Chains A and B, each alone.
Chain A
């Protein structure tokens, strides 16, 4: 989330260069360079203008279904009509394959596949549809999703604008306008989503009456939406306790189950489409999935800016504001954790400051590309809180994951000898049987240990 040089406004493709120079040494026939002398190879793309807000449907990829339901609701209050996509299957993958370089990461392929498949479905008026993606602007190739989506759309839906939701000042001409109160609402939505996800996962495997946990989840989502409608989303304690009480009321049968933590690249970690419905698979296997909070990733992105200023003296002014934002958001997390602990029924999610401490023990917080140090930190935190069985989900060939995922497993195992970690690659061509067989091996080890 680095504050970066804002892109110059796009202009139509044109060649601003002299004709090929023949002969001569280097430099001969090459124009001297000035600031304005830039060869423009970029291609134009449609902007999302303010007027479009009212008439456009904005599609977003599938990632965290329940969080997204809340976020969509918050966005709707800002006048954006968002719709999360849930299309899956081979056609979606095929669309992705068609439009994305095969060596690009799987999430890009999934997201672009979903967009194109949806636009082709006939369900949307393609002249009044836009697509939206978040952008973090880090050193990982994932920051290039927007150009990749634009490139894919250009071939078949050149009129569809791509919106960026970012807090780094990127894509100013196609961004969602953000202001503090709005951002804060999004933050609350994530916190509520995280808690609902956590309580759900801690209840669902134990429910006596099938489906009762899902009902409660629906009810909680409804309640939080209503709170946003009534401007009561900041009544944190009330809302948190509502969720805790609601899930606590589900009749459950207490029996020991294997807890399986999920860490990894942000998209395949959460998206059921991306990780072949990993959570459901684990539930079917009789496990309790432990999925770390989305807010931890947000805090991770924020704190990296603060770290950058501290370590390299970068952008100290904006880092100051990031620091304030961090303190504020963390204070909310602190409260939620406190109340969850006090309530007593559910294991609280990770404390972000604790994650940072754990990170320092295994890797440097300077590893900030992709999910960076957050992955080993979460592995350590999971191992520490009784979820030592861990699936590290990563797209095939994910660069940051070489270092912070697979690369860190050995250190984690050294520190937590009981840690039982399986890295799983996700790829359009990787087979489910291959993935499941490896997870099953991890589970077999876990079961044996539980029996001991």
Chain B
């Protein structure tokens, strides 16, 4: 007998299909390979031996490529394999969606065949779901079952796993229901597939759903069906879905050479390992080197005290981190009485309560004088358990490090989710560097990966210590690392080498992306490393190798936040306060809470708010951006220029304008945030009625998401698609959106460009939205500085309205005047706010970004958050003219960016003002401006704070960052006063 054999080697699984000559599938298998690619394939082939006969074999799948090449087997690209199988088995299918471990694919069969794979960024679908399950501390199956009970869906950034995680973590910590989160995760996967892959092409007709996740996960299936509005007849989930590619490969094998199974296996066995992976040096050359290393680090430890025998005062520190919960009880002499470290399993509050009960049951002889909580869960835990103090986690970590080395000048903390670094001068924080969304989750990535390998983190880490050829796995983010691991596995790298490689990747991410140190000297001489991730010796060693410095790692590296909090409680508990307010054993016995999610309708932000109600009737509200969400009344006339700008722009067009010539739609996004006054006045003078697009919102974004062509563009740009849809739906006569290479020349930079995205986005809109045409979308190219050509361009663009050149000229001049007036108003408002700030002794934050950062959907209400922290908020365009002209090292050639430099200069000359730079994720130009703004500020002793914003609507990290800044400013002030 002769058979066809299809072998699909994916990133996580191996699928093998045997088919007879008539095309009947005789057997199919689906197993996880745990990186043991070749062995697993051979095992599976062994199982089909009973068939006997000879085979024609073809290999497919991302990890199969190298194996096929080196084993001399026929290879077929996996999407192509699926395409072949679809046409043979489901000739009436219109499209197919396939989700694998790492890749997502869409195949359009009818209406112009087309096959697509996800871009580099969106990698991770099956793997993404696995990671999310780990995050929730449940199995994928449990997550699936939970998702079916969901009551609501939260918006979760779907661009990539790292971003999604940043959205989910705070939801977990706020006590959102796992079932709702599970459903939200699946929805995110669907959104990503629909927007990232389909890109404007609608998935309709009869749709096949293929691949493991779509076969096994009912919740995911449901989410797809709902989003694509498919009924059972049109959504097909084939029985052989998980093995579909291997069936396709078996079909493709018809052209392959016929040979006995043993022959095929022998060749696979003999296939050499790949050698194209970059390898680093071993972490330790010898056992002696390792012993010396262990001895050296053994020195940094805290003394212990037996909790059963100790009598007297104690201080409790609680660190409710993003992924783990840590508690520590110390004596007044800083001895550890008791400590605890555990994954918070998405239930931080329950864990803390549980551990407190345990603590109370251990001993009755200890009096907790003071308690302090820090970390993401700070507010909630503090409210729920009546903890005396709460401090921002950066301060807690700093305090703890200072204890271990009073001369410390650099601290790096790598936790599960975040990386924090501090430079220390004169025992005070000099600058803080926190990771941005992209490089978060490095710590927990190792853990998740170890789990996927069926190992605990300790054994996995140990494997890396003596790896001979640690592989290079890149450092951009965990999604890219995951994909690098896949490649390394394909090339035959061992688990040992991958373990060591991951450690080094995480360290590189911290050094290159977060600290951005060019030379080890920049780090200083006394470095303390901490955070749970540094308990991994491989990570610690990698850090020492990469920096060339010996560092201090306290034995309680993972507990430093809790230790710092405990120290804080000790130092700040008044002498006459003899017992902490923290819940007593009796109160704890009855402690319980209920969580409820609601949407706050206090303003247009519509925050998702979580309300915890405790057994004693108290309530805790989280997720709100301003006081309103917490049921408080916000102050009127908040010193906030962002609100002023946004409302001012919205009320710019005259709703009563007659519009005898028709209506023009202006999309309020990107360049329009700057030039709306100009074009409103222009069109109204010309006799048009001006209609603005809808206010930005996540929903508006989703409305236009299907026309987004480039996933990695900035969020403001991607939101524009929704604005266009809203204007089209309103039925305006045409949408006006000019292309401008040059912005208005403000004469303080070498040139006055717009960034490429702002300048030419209309081109992309026109090209990717089929509803737009030359009639309803007018996008002239013009340089607003040059009246002659601008008038000409407008005249041509609006030819069908037969406007005279002189009217256009008059209107354009009026527009420019209106723009100037508006800018003067902004500056005037800025002065008002400053005066108010001085009167009320408020600190001022110049929240500096771009004009379009005034959009509440883009800034996510950071302005409101600042106000609620008791700060006055200004913007770069309100103050830059007060700053001196600046000369910087880089080419200063963009109008908006020149404003940033001058605003920074301005801040350096005010004691009561600091600058916080808003940066949209994906803004390539800010890769340049951020370094320069930082240099300007730091050269004059100011702190620099950067906030990266994207679709993610998670202010938790932002809050920590801002509070850290405030704490550091306080410290600095205190130091100056001393």
Q: Are B739 and A366 in contact (CB under 8 A)?
A: yes
| B72-116, CB < 8 A from A | 76-77, 79-80, 103, 112, 115
Given A2-B751, A139-B741, A433-B65; A410-B709 close (CB under 8 Å): yes
CB-CB under 8 A from B742, the residues of chain A are: 312
Identity of the chain B residue whose Cβ is nearest the Cβ of A397 in the assembled complex:
B712
Query: Would you call B472 an interface residue if the criterion is a C-beta within 8 Å of the partner chain's C-beta atoms?
Result: yes
**Which of A39, A139, A411, A436 interacts with B886 by CB under 8 Å?**
A39
Given A139-B894, A429-B477; A312-B65 close (CB under 8 Å): no
Q: Are B276 and A432 in contact (CB under 8 A)?
A: yes
Query: Would you call B508 an interface residue if the criterion is a C-beta within 8 Å of the partner chain's C-beta atoms?
Result: yes
Q: Are B887 and A39 in contact (CB under 8 A)?
A: yes
Query: Would you call B518 an interface residue if the criterion is a C-beta within 8 Å of the partner chain's C-beta atoms?
Result: yes
Cβ-Cβ contact count across A and B, 8 Å cutoff: 301
Query: Would you call B823 an interface residue if the criterion is a C-beta within 8 Å of the partner chain's C-beta atoms?
Result: no
CB-CB under 8 A from B117, the residues of chain A are: 437-438, 441
Q: A451 to nearest B CB, angstroms? A: 11
Query: Would you call B788 an interface residue if the criterion is a C-beta within 8 Å of the partner chain's C-beta atoms?
Result: yes
CB-CB under 8 A from B135, the residues of chain A are: none
Inter-chain CA distance A40–B924, complex, in Å, is 24
Q: Are A429 and B80 in contact (CB under 8 A)?
A: no
Q: B158 to nearest A CB, angstroms? A: 18
**Which of A7, A15, A363, A369 interacts with B756 by CB under 8 Å?**
A369
Identity of the chain A residue whose Cβ is nearest the Cβ of B513 in the assembled complex:
A102
Given A20-B909, A427-B120, A431-B486; A400-B756 close (CB under 8 Å): yes
**Which of B123, B475, B909 interacts with A17 by CB under 8 Å?**
B909
Q: Are B763 and A441 in contact (CB under 8 A)?
A: no
Q: What per-residue 1/0 map shows which CB atoms of B698-710 lie under 8 Å from chain A?
A: 0000000000011
Query: Would you call A141 an interface residue if the criterion is a C-beta within 8 Å of the partner chain's C-beta atoms?
Result: yes
Query: Would you call A350 an interface residue if the criterion is a C-beta within 8 Å of the partner chain's C-beta atoms?
Result: no
| B315-341, CB < 8 A from A | none
Given A23-B912, A26-B879, A146-B891; A313-B789 close (CB under 8 Å): yes
CB-CB under 8 A from B931, the residues of chain A are: 101, 151
Q: What per-residue 1/0 map shows which CB atoms of A345-377 lie under 8 Å from chain B?
A: 000000000000000001110111110000000
Identity of the chain B residue whose Cβ is nearest the Cβ of A143 in the assembled complex:
B891
Given A20-B909, A20-B910, A104-B927; A5-B768 close (CB under 8 Å): no
Identity of the chain B residue whose Cβ is nearest the Cβ of A445 in the assembled complex:
B115
Q: Are B710 and A407 in contact (CB under 8 A)?
A: yes
Q: Are B887 and A25 in contact (CB under 8 A)?
A: no
CB-CB under 8 A from B835, the residues of chain A are: 25
Inter-chain CA distance A386–B278, complex, in Å, is 37
Q: Are B767 and A41 in contact (CB under 8 A)?
A: no
Q: Are B889 and A150 in contact (CB under 8 A)?
A: yes
**Which of B487, B513, B761, B927 interacts with A141 by CB under 8 Å?**
B927
Inter-chain CA distance A296–B609, complex, in Å, is 56
Inter-chain CA distance A148–B886, complex, in Å, is 18
Inter-chain CA distance A88–B691, complex, in Å, is 55
Inter-chain CA distance A388–B76, complex, in Å, is 21
Chain A: residues with Cβ within 8 Å of the partner, total of 104
**Which of A140, A313, A435, A445 interacts with B788 by CB under 8 Å?**
A313
B44-52, B212-220, B855-863, B932-940: which one contacts chain A?
A: B932-940
**Which of B115, B884, B932 interacts with A31 by CB under 8 Å?**
B884
Given A312-B782, A431-B483, A441-B115; A42-B884 close (CB under 8 Å): no
Binding site for B on A (CB under 8 A): 2, 4-5, 7-8, 13, 15-27, 29-31, 33, 37-43, 89-90, 94, 97-99, 101-105, 139-141, 143-144, 146-148, 150-152, 155-156, 308, 311-314, 362-364, 366-370, 396-411, 417, 423, 425, 427-438, 440-441, 443-445, 448
Interchain residue pairs with CB less than 8 A apart (7): A7-B750, A156-B518, A313-B783, A366-B760, A367-B759, A401-B710, A430-B474
Binding site for A on B (CB under 8 A): 62, 65-66, 76-77, 79-80, 103, 112, 115, 117, 119-121, 123, 199-200, 276, 278, 280, 472, 474-477, 480-481, 483-484, 486-487, 490, 508, 511-513, 516-519, 709-710, 712-713, 717, 739, 741-742, 750-751, 753-757, 759-761, 763-764, 767-768, 781-783, 785-786, 788-789, 793, 827, 830-831, 834-835, 838, 879, 882-891, 893-894, 901, 905-906, 908-912, 922-928, 930-932, 935-936, 939-940
Which 10 interchain pairs have the tightest Cβ spacing?
A: A429-B474, A429-B476, A312-B783, A139-B753, A407-B764, A103-B927, A366-B781, A444-B80, A90-B278, A429-B480
| A89-B278, A399-B755, A430-B120 given; 6 more Cβ-contact pairs under 8 Å | A5-B751, A25-B831, A27-B882, A41-B887, A143-B893, A408-B767
